[in-house]
Amino acid sequence: MTNQKNNTQAKSTTITFTLQQEKDREIRAALQSVYNSLKEKGYNPVNQIVGYILSEDPTYITNHNNARALIRRIDKYELMRALVQNYLVL
């Protein structure tokens, strides 16, 4: 009986996982890394990232710490979706 009760409790605390959540975590980590690299090089990271998003010109992003290659792996529309979703706290 105790094992059955423990199994029921374990099932009720199951954490759901979606691919979208994992994708959002990857975008957040990449964007944070790019931000840090831009800051280390003395740039205004927010302005540079916005410039990149608007123009799709990779030269807005430094090569320092492989930041340019990192941000180019993120789909522009996925990045915009994640930013809007997080801004609106959805």
The Cα 13–Cα 6 span in angstroms is 11
Contact 30, 71 (CB under 8 A): yes
Helix (H, G, I), strand (E, B) or coil at 86: helix
Quickly list DSSP for 31-72. Answer: HHHHHHHHHHTT--HHHHHHHHHHH--GGGS--GGGHHHHHH
Would you give per-residue pLDDT tens digits along the chain (90 residues)? 555 555 555 556 777 667 788 899 999 999 999 999 999 999 999 999 999 999 999 999 999 999 999 999 999 999 999 999 989 987
pTM over 0.85: no
Domain ranges within the chain, ordered by starting residue: 19-87
